[in-house]
């Protein structure tokens, strides 16, 4: 009715209620919006704890996120990085990227820590090394179009962008589902797989 996209409405709520420079409070405010105002396809707090635990265990220095959306997952990842780590996040929708950029900077992360790259993942991935300086990712978080998961994993492999022992965390592989990605990951012989059971966000 207002003509303002829900992502922009969520950001306006953040501006009014969140503490700038406090990533944890930014996420809490996002969660309040998701629970009480409008549903957003963010990771949410329940699955967020899985992400936080894996980041703590792995302590990755080079992180790639596919699917920035509003920046919730980006802030979640960035706040869990060890000192000196760098996060590259890729978003195909320019309007979502514009909101995410403001959210990421509001949370206190500069371009040296978080680089937001706007463009289709299939075009961005082959350019990550030469154009953006990502040599090999040791942690990849996939939360974009589920039909792109397998294609983009194989692109990362073919461009040798995965460090030895890299962790690939993919959201929503059971619902709405990424069956071809799951089958490949389980049968290609390159990965050890674990499914984390969780409810849908909010």
Active site residue 172: yes
Active site residue 146: yes
Whether 201 is catalytic is yes
101 has catalytic annotation:
no
Q: How far is CA 65 from CA 4, 74, 78, 105, in A?
A: 26, 7, 10, 17
- Concerning whether 143 is annotated as a catalytic residue, the answer is yes
Catalytic residue among 7, 47, 91, 172: 172
Count of CB atoms situated within 10 Å of the CB of 178: 23
Per the residue annotation, which of 143, 152, 164, 194 is the catalytic one? 143
Contact 62, 128 (CB under 8 A): no
Choosing from 31, 65, 146, 152, the catalytic residue is 146
- The answer for residues whose C-beta is within 8 angstroms of residue 53's C-beta and 6 or more apart is none
Q: Indicate which residue of 102, 171, 186, 194 is catalytic.
A: 171
Catalytic residues: 143, 146, 171-172, 201
């Amino acid at each position: 009715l207002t003509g303002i996209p829900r992502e922009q409405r969520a950001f306006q709520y953040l501006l009014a209620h969140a503490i700038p420079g406090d990533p944890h409070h930014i996420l809490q405010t996002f969660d309040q919006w998701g629970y009480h105002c409008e549903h957003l396809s963010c990771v949410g707090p329940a699955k967020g704890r899985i992400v936080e635990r894996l980041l703590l265990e792995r302590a990755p220095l080079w992180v790639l996120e596919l699917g920035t959306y509003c920046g919730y997952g980006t802030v979640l990842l960035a706040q869990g990085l060890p000192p000196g780590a760098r996060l590259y996040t890729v978003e195909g929708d320019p309007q979502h990227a514009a909101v995410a950029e403001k959210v990421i900077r509001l949370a206190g992360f500069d371009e040296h820590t978080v680089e937001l790259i706007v463009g289709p993942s299939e075009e961005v991935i082959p350019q990550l090394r030469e154009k953006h300086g990502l040599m090999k990712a040791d942690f990849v978080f996939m939360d974009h179009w589920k039909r792109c998961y397998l294609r983009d994993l194989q692109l990362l492999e073919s461009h040798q962008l995965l460090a030895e022992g890299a962790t690939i965390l993919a959201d929503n592989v059971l619902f709405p589902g990424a069956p071809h990605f799951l089958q490949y990951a389980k049968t290609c012989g390159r990965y050890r797989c674990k499914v984390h059971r969780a409810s849908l966000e909010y």
